């Protein structure tokens, strides 16, 4: 299946709000999800929103395996989430470094809710509801932001906590080589 090119920051299509999916079991939806899976795998991402491949529908995909560098991150199975909703649990937030396939080569320190409940539908139109914490919660919040046209740089609160990976590593902010892939955060988090 085709790997699609990922839109990059500056493309106005990334700033649009995506529309709800109203029809399930269609060949178009199946093809979209396959393309998203292939693209995310090819780009070694841990999450992708449909709008990043130019389809402004409320569909996100995320999932990642166990990474020995980040034993605190439980693996999350590959999940398709359609028309998602997020509800924070409590008020705790934490900051961690994020990247995005639409902002290649860069990282920024982004505060997110530490604990959330998310709900949505799977590709068959069945309900998904999960509680998530830490990195899992972060990925879901990052991907759902894409559906409202929000890219992580606009969530950064401290302007010196954003830059290119090489420069941040040279400055001792990011551990060298410690980032598993793009569109992810590492777990070098701090409470905020």
Binding mask 55-94 for Ni ion (x = CB under 5 A): ----------------------------------------
Which is closer to Ni ion, CB of 94 or CB of 107? Answer: 107
* CA–CA dist 147, 64 (Å, integer): 20
Which residue among 98, 131, 143, 158 is the active-site one? 143
Contact 123, 33 (CB under 8 A): yes
Among 59, 73, 100, 132, binds Ni ion (CB under 5 A): 100
C-alpha distances in angstroms, 136 versus 21, 38, 97, 171? 23, 21, 14, 28
* CA–CA dist 141, 128 (Å, integer): 16
131 catalytic, yes or no? no
Largest CA distance in the chain: 50
Binding mask 130-169 for Ni ion (x = CB under 5 A): ----------------------------------------
Which is closer to Ni ion, CB of 35 or CB of 183? Answer: 183
Among the listed residues 126, 110, 124, the one whose alpha carbon sits nearest the alpha carbon of residue 159 = 110
**Shortest distance (Å) from residue 151 CB to Ni ion:** 7
**Shortest distance (Å) from residue 113 CB to Ni ion:** 17
Supply the residues annotated as catalytic.
Answer: 143
């Amino acid at each position: 299946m085709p790997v699609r090119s990922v839109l990059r920051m500056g493309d106005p299509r990334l700033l649009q709000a995506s529309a709800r999916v109203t029809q399930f079991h269609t060949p178009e939806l199946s093809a979209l999800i396959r393309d998203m899976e292939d693209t995310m795998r090819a780009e070694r991402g841990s999450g992708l929103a449909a709008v990043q491949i130019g389809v402004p529908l409320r569909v996100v995909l995320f999932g990642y395996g166990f990474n020995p560098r980040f034993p605190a991150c439980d693996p999350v199975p590959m999940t398709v989430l359609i028309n998602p909703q997020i509800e924070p649990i409590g008020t705790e937030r934490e900051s961690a470094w994020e990247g995005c396939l639409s902002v290649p080569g860069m990282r920024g320190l982004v505060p997110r809710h530490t604990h959330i409940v998310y709900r949505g539908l799977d590709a068959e139109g069945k309900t998904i509801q999960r509680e998530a914490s830490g990195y899992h919660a972060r990925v879901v919040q990052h991907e759902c932001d894409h559906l409202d046209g929000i890219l992580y740089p606009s969530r950064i609160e401290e302007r010196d906590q954003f830059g290119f990976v090489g420069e941040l590593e040279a400055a001792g902010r990011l551990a060298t080589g410690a980032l598993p892939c793009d569109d992810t955060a590492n777990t070098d988090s701090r409470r905020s």
